[in-house]
Structure 1
Amino acid sequence: MAKFVNNLYKNQALFYKVFLFILTSVLIVYLLPKGGKFKYEIPKGKPWQYENLYAPFDFAILKTDAEINAEKQAIKNNHIPYYKFNAEVVERVKEDALQEIDITFSDTILSQFKPQITGFINQTIDEIYKNGLLQENNRLEPDQLIYLRKGNEAYQISYKNLLKQGEIRSFLNSRIEGSGLMPFRTELLEVFYDSLEPNVVFDNELTQKELESKLNSISYTRGSIEQGSRVISKGEVVEGDKYNVLRSLKTEYESQMWSKSNYNWILLGYSALVCMALLMLLLFIRKYRPAIFENNVKVTFIFFNIIFMVMLTTIVVNFNINYVYVVPLCILPLSLKAFFDARLGLFAHVITVLLLGFIVPNSYEYMFLQIIAGIVTILTVSELYKRANLFISVGQITLVYIISYFAFTIIQEGSIADVKAEVFITFLLGGLATLFVQPLIYIYEKIFGMVSDMSLLELSDTNSKLLKELAEKAPGTFHHSLNVANLAEAAANEIKANAMLVRVGALFHDIGKMHNPTYFTENQTTSVNSHDELSPRESAQIIIDHVIKGIEIAKKNNIPDRVIDFIRTHHGTTTVYYFYKKEKETNENAPSDDFRYPGPIPFSKETAILMMCDSVEAASKSLKEPTSALIDNFVEKIINKQMDEGQFLNANITFKEIQLIKKILKRKLKNIYHLRIEYPE
């Protein structure tokens, strides 16, 4: 049992990666669409390259979007609206009219003509409200049919048979002229105007309800194909009705495949493909990025980004498939490049796009566009911390999307008439969303504790609190750090290492000297040497302690571990040779380990560069009368000694790169010690 627990403890990092791999696979399989995949690509406008295809089962032929939209439009155009007739208004108008007669006409007139007047008004009101009085004017065409609903019954009439309120005056004048009551025209008009009111209104609720019912009853299929019938022959062009039949077969196939009987088999297939894709990524990291593979936080970060992109795409596809290109997928290679390198970013991007091919329709087109966009992202974004570079790259990515989509459309449709302008808008929105990568990188830094070039740029500011403190307490050390930073940056650029990282590491590598600044020669401003009162062993310990003190100060000031690594390794396991030799003058058997830095030795190109530059710059102060030959020999001697001591065995740096670094250091030192002519006083 103890042995098992011991093995479990030793291999906990490996077990964690296995757990992470399984968890990521399960989540991605869960997010995949619940349906089978049609095994043929449907190349619209091109010959069918597969063998003759026969219907595996009976299926209905789906109508095209254009056909369905045309049917809907026809239903809307031919739909008969409903109007509601209010009978209570008619009775109320008649009562009001009889009262208005007594008010409007004089008693003399009423005594002689009241029966005629009353009969005329009642008869006219009946004619006005025969079909109803409508307040609106010319809402529909005159010959447009409508339904007039009286109670629970509806009658179909022409819209022109409804009397509109704007037509009342002419209607009344014509009736009065033929009635023999022309002398009382003014009084009669007054009675009608004071009494009449509309009693027919547009019934919007019933009209819309009836329209929706008709639209919902539309059949989305037309005809069917029987099992065993030939769908398409090899070499036949996929267009028109053939394309619609194939599209219908694909839809039916994918819906039928996901059933209880074959659910487990399809799930197994999805799981195998997802696991294979993620395994390829994991093996790539293990073989070509072993430092990242050993770091569980970094592996978690990579897998988290993949899950995040798959989840985001799934949400958008489920919401509206037309917005799939709004998802800023290029954020993935940008983020990974910011924290790691371009090659890993592109590889992870391709794996993610392959997984998303299960989710999106037109998967080949989608994968082509996204892979090309990812390549452009990797090639164009060189320095993410420069805002202009990001905006330029986003513009280039958007342009690549637009050109690729345009090319695919004219290949598939054969003309530019079917190019959809709204798709270009989604590309622009996706490009704008890509700009979110900068705040996202900041969030990742806080969550995962990693460092990007943007953070390094902030740390390289010499006006920061810690570097200002170094300049005040140990000005000589600060000047030395600046010189080392310049040398290291030039060397890193020469061998294509991370110049920004090595510069920041150089600026902070000696901050431990703030603890006892006067014990380091570059900070001694008088002839008094603090080491004169100490034994060589004590002096060596103070010198060695500046590494430990530097790590403590850096951690206290929240300097990232990636930068602290430079403090740990800039002396490797070398000895404080001056005091060691001094100790040997009095003690021949003095152990060298007492005068040796604790290490570790450099484990990257950047930390190896810093060790070389730090040693060369510090020792160069001892050159009295430097010449070109003297500088060349001086640089060779120092770096060769470090190589002989095995200081670069753990760093992935080649002999050729070391030679290039030597060349740069020689040239820089010659520039620094360049002798000028003596100016006359």
Structure 2
Amino acid sequence: MSTILNRFYKNQGSIYKVLLCIVSTILIVYLFPKSGKFQFDFQQNKPWQYDNLYAPVDFAILKSQDQLDQEKAEVENNIIPYFIYDHDIANEAKAAYENQFASVFTDSIFRDRQRELKAFGLKIIDEIYKYGVVNDLTAFQEGRKIYLRRGNEIEETSIENLNTTDEITALINRKLVNGPYVQAVNRFKELFFDVVQPNVTYDEKLTNKELNAEMSKIAPTKGVVNKGSRIVAKGEIVEQSTYQILKSLQAEYESQTWTASKYNWVVFGYVLLVSVALTMLLLFIKTYRELVFENNTKVTFIFFNIILMVLFTTLIVKYDANYVYVVPLCILPLVIKAFFDSRLGLFTHVITILLLGFIVPNTSEYMFLQVIAGIVTILTISELYKRANLFISVGQITFIYIIGYFAFHIIHEGTVENLEWETFSTFIITGLATLFVQPLIYAYEKIFGLVSDLSLLELTDTNSKLLKDLANKAPGTFHHSLNVANLAEAAANEIGANSMLVRVGALYHDIGKMVNPTDFTENQSTGINTHEDLSPRESARIIIDHVINGIEIARKNNLPDRVIDFIRTHHGTSTVYYFYKKAQEQDEDVNIEDFSYPGPLPFSKETAILMMADSVEAASKSLKNPTSVLIDSFVEKIINKQMDENQFLNATITFKEIQVIKKVLKSKLNNIYHLRIEYPE
């Protein structure tokens, strides 16, 4: 049991990565659309790029959405609406008329003709309620047929036969103005206004039932393509009719592929392809970025970003595939480059595009544009912390999208006509969305504990609390750190290393000297050397401890691990040679390990550069009469000694790069210690 646990403990990193790969594969396959991937990409009014296509099976031709919408609109326009006639309201209106008639026509001029007037009014009411009164008919077209339901009977009539409440006054005027009862017009208006009420209502429920019945009769297909029939020839323009046949074949294929019998096989195929792609990414990281591979947090971060891009793209494709370019995919290489390097960023970007090829339309066009945009992203942004660089790069990315889309259009169409200008606006939106990369990087730093160049730039501020404390407590060390930072930055620029990272590392590499600043010669302004009263072994221990003290101070001040690495490695396993020789002179039983730094050795170009720049800058203070020959000689001597001690054995730096660094350090020191003419007093 203990053997199994030991093996598990030793291989827990590898086990975690395998589980991460499996979980990522499951999530990505789950996000894929639940349908088979049709093997042909095609667009309307563009040439067919494949061989002649023949119908593999008999299948029905689906109607286009426009055709279905048109047929539905025709049904809606031709449907006859239902209205309900209420006899009770009509009878109540007549009864109210008879009850109120005498109270309205009370004048003596109407007294002798009340019977005639009353009969005339009843005749108007009968005419008003012949087909009934409705509140409003503005939602219905003139001349439209309607069904008027009176109890159990249904009568077909015209909508004009119904009276609205606004038309009652006009009806009274027509009957009375030119008749024998002109003087009674206003009285009748007053009376009818009180008694006439709407008695016809629109029967929405019955009408919708009839509408749904008619809608269900609309056939989704129009004709059949027989097996073996040629659908489209190579190079032929995919016109609207052919396009609809191809869409019908695609729908037939996808509906058959994801049946119960084939579903598991299709999923298994997706799992194989996705797992192969992610495994290739892991192998690339293991082979070329071993430090990243060993850090599970960093590997998780990379996989998380891939899944995030697949998720966003899938959501957009499900909503409307025409907006697939809205997803700012170029954020992915930007983010990976910000935390790691360009090569890993581009490789991750390409793997992600390969995965997205399963779900996006026009796969070849999409993949070409996104790969080119990713390459432009990697090549154009060298220093993300400079805002101008980001804006310039976003402009170039947008321009590449537009040029690429334009090129594909003229290849397919052979003309610049019919350009879809909405697509250009999509590319502009994508470019603007790419600007979100900076707040995204900040969020990632907090979530995953990573460090980007943006954070490194903040750490270079000499007004920060930690560097201010260093300047106040150990001014000589602070000045030394500034000089080392300048030397290391120049060397890093010359060999293509991360100059921002090495500068930050140089600024903080000696913060451990704040614990006992006067124990270091650069801070002994009074001329008193505290080591005169100490044994060589004690002095060596004090000097060596500044590395451990620096790590503790850095952790208390939440400095990133990438910066702490410079504190740990800037002396490697070198020896405090001065006190070691002094101990030998005193005939002590000397163990060289007591006078050696604990390490580890530098493991990157940047940490190796700092070791060289730190040693050279510190030793240069001992030169009394520096000359060009003397400076060149002592730079060679110091760095060659470090090489002889195998201090750069673990660093990813070449012999040629070390020679370039020597040249830079010689040049910089010669400029610092150049001789001036002696001015007269």
TM-score between the two structures when normalised by the length of structure 1: 0.92
1:544 matched to which residue of 2? Answer: 544
1:565 matched to which residue of 2? Answer: 565
Q: Deviations over 1:216-275 (max 9, x none)?
A: 654332111233433334554433322221221111101101122222322222122112
Q: Distance in 2 between matches of 1:209 and 1:662?
A: 89
Deviation at 1:382, TM superposition (A): 2.2
Deviation at 1:5, TM superposition (A): 4.1
1:60 counterpart SS class: strand
Deviation at 1:87, TM superposition (A): 3.7
Contact 1:63 1:222 in 2 (8 A): yes
Deviation at 1:620, TM superposition (A): 1.1
1:354 matched to which residue of 2? Answer: 354
Query: Does residue 255 of the first structure (1) align with residue 255 of the second (2)?
Result: yes
2:661 matched to which residue of 1? Answer: 661
Deviation at 1:525, TM superposition (A): 0.8
Deviation at 1:189, TM superposition (A): 3.4
Contact 2:105 2:111 in 1 (8 A): no
Query: Does residue 325 of the first structure (1) align with residue 328 of the second (2)?
Result: no
1:391 matched to which residue of 2? Answer: 391
Contact 2:42 2:362 in 1 (8 A): no
Contact 1:137 1:165 in 2 (8 A): no
Query: Does residue 671 of the first structure (1) align with residue 665 of the second (2)?
Result: no
Q: Deviations over 1:439-496 (max 9, x none)?
A: 3322322332221111111222212221111111111101111111111111111111
Q: Distance in 2 between matches of 1:642 and 1:580?
A: 17
Deviation at 1:589, TM superposition (A): 6.0
Q: Distance in 1 between matches of 2:650 and 2:153?
A: 94
Question: Which residue identity does 2:362 align to in structure 1?
Answer: N
1:180 matched to which residue of 2? Answer: 180
What does 1:240-251 correspond to in 2, within 5 Å?
240-251=240-251
C-alpha RMSD over aligned residues: 2.7
1:591 matched to which residue of 2? Answer: 591
Contact 2:498 2:606 in 1 (8 A): yes
2:555 matched to which residue of 1? Answer: 555
2:57 matched to which residue of 1? Answer: 57
1:74 counterpart SS class: helix
Q: Distance in 1 between matches of 2:406 and 2:92?
A: 67
1:639 matched to which residue of 2? Answer: 639
2:369 matched to which residue of 1? Answer: 369
Structure 1 window deviating more from structure 2 (538-547 vs 90-99): it is 90-99
2:618 matched to which residue of 1? Answer: 618
Question: Which residue identity does 1:435 align to in structure 2?
Answer: L
1:17 matched to which residue of 2? Answer: 17
What does 1:239-318 correspond to in 2, within 5 Å?
239-318=239-318
1:261 counterpart SS class: helix
Structure 1 window deviating more from structure 2 (215-224 vs 21-30): it is 215-224
Contact 2:61 2:222 in 1 (8 A): yes
Question: Which residue identity does 2:69 align to in structure 1?
Answer: N
Compared CA separation, residues 137 and 317, structure 1 to 2 (3 A): closer
Compared CA separation, residues 218 and 324, structure 1 to 2 (3 A): farther
Q: Distance in 2 between matches of 1:668 and 1:643?
A: 21
Q: Distance in 2 between matches of 1:498 and 1:217?
A: 70
Contact 1:409 1:418 in 2 (8 A): no
Give unpaired runs (5+ residues) of structure 1: none
Q: Deviations over 1:656-681 (max 9, x none)?
A: 21122122212221222233344445
Q: Distance in 2 between matches of 1:208 and 1:416?
A: 47
Structure 1 window deviating more from structure 2 (455-464 vs 200-209): it is 200-209
Question: Which residue identity does 2:196 align to in structure 1?
Answer: L
Question: Which residue identity does 2:575 align to in structure 1?
Answer: T
Deviation at 1:171, TM superposition (A): 2.6
Q: Distance in 2 between matches of 1:570 and 1:58?
A: 75
Contact 2:505 2:566 in 1 (8 A): yes
Question: Which residue identity does 2:304 align to in structure 1?
Answer: F
Q: Distance in 2 between matches of 1:308 and 1:381?
A: 22
Deviation at 1:148, TM superposition (A): 4.0
TM-score between the two structures when normalised by the length of structure 2: 0.92
1:437 matched to which residue of 2? Answer: 437
Deviation at 1:77, TM superposition (A): 4.4
Deviation at 1:505, TM superposition (A): 0.5
Contact 2:134 2:200 in 1 (8 A): yes
Deviation at 1:537, TM superposition (A): 1.4
Compared CA separation, residues 125 and 44, structure 1 to 2 (3 A): closer
Deviation at 1:317, TM superposition (A): 3.0
1:525 matched to which residue of 2? Answer: 525
Contact 1:43 1:412 in 2 (8 A): no
Deviation at 1:527, TM superposition (A): 1.8
Q: Distance in 2 between matches of 1:123 and 1:473?
A: 112
Q: Distance in 2 between matches of 1:84 and 1:676?
A: 111
Question: Which residue identity does 1:468 align to in structure 2?
Answer: K
Compared CA separation, residues 185 and 70, structure 1 to 2 (3 A): closer
Compared CA separation, residues 170 and 624, structure 1 to 2 (3 A): same
Structure 1 window deviating more from structure 2 (345-354 vs 13-22): it is 13-22
Q: Deviations over 1:19-45 (max 9, x none)?
A: 222222222222222222222333654
Deviation at 1:518, TM superposition (A): 0.3
Compared CA separation, residues 11 and 68, structure 1 to 2 (3 A): same
Contact 1:134 1:199 in 2 (8 A): yes
Q: Distance in 1 between matches of 2:64 and 2:417?
A: 17
1:334 matched to which residue of 2? Answer: 334
1:622 counterpart SS class: coil
Q: Distance in 1 between matches of 2:428 and 2:206?
A: 42
1:98 matched to which residue of 2? Answer: 98
What does 1:398-547 correspond to in 2, within 5 Å?
398-409=398-409, 411-412=411-412, 418-547=418-547
Structure 1 window deviating more from structure 2 (329-338 vs 500-509): it is 329-338
2:60 counterpart SS class: strand
Q: Distance in 2 between matches of 1:426 and 1:154?
A: 55
Question: Which residue identity does 1:100 align to in structure 2?
Answer: Q
Contact 1:45 1:414 in 2 (8 A): no
Compared CA separation, residues 154 and 314, structure 1 to 2 (3 A): farther
Deviation at 1:504, TM superposition (A): 0.7
Compared CA separation, residues 583 and 138, structure 1 to 2 (3 A): closer
1:39 matched to which residue of 2? Answer: 39
Contact 1:44 1:413 in 2 (8 A): no
Question: Which residue identity does 2:530 align to in structure 1?
Answer: S
2:445 counterpart SS class: helix
Q: Distance in 1 between matches of 2:431 and 2:150?
A: 58
Deviation at 1:336, TM superposition (A): 0.7
Compared CA separation, residues 170 and 615, structure 1 to 2 (3 A): same
Query: Does residue 129 of the first structure (1) align with residue 152 of the second (2)?
Result: no
Q: Distance in 1 between matches of 2:398 and 2:217?
A: 42
Structure 1 window deviating more from structure 2 (52-61 vs 145-154): it is 145-154
Structure 1 window deviating more from structure 2 (442-451 vs 67-76): it is 67-76
Question: Which residue identity does 2:492 align to in structure 1?
Answer: A
Q: Distance in 2 between matches of 1:237 and 1:654?
A: 57
2:260 counterpart SS class: coil
Question: Which residue identity does 2:327 align to in structure 1?
Answer: V
Question: Which residue identity does 1:115 align to in structure 2?
Answer: R
Deviation at 1:49, TM superposition (A): 5.1
Q: Distance in 1 between matches of 2:411 and 2:204?
A: 46
Compared CA separation, residues 203 and 330, structure 1 to 2 (3 A): farther
Question: Which residue identity does 1:10 align to in structure 2?
Answer: K
Compared CA separation, residues 142 and 303, structure 1 to 2 (3 A): closer
2:157 counterpart SS class: strand
Q: Deviations over 1:142-171 (max 9, x none)?
A: 333344454565544333333344444443
Give unpaired runs (5+ residues) of structure 2: none
Compared CA separation, residues 69 and 453, structure 1 to 2 (3 A): same
Q: Distance in 1 between matches of 2:588 and 2:188?
A: 139
Contact 1:100 1:194 in 2 (8 A): no
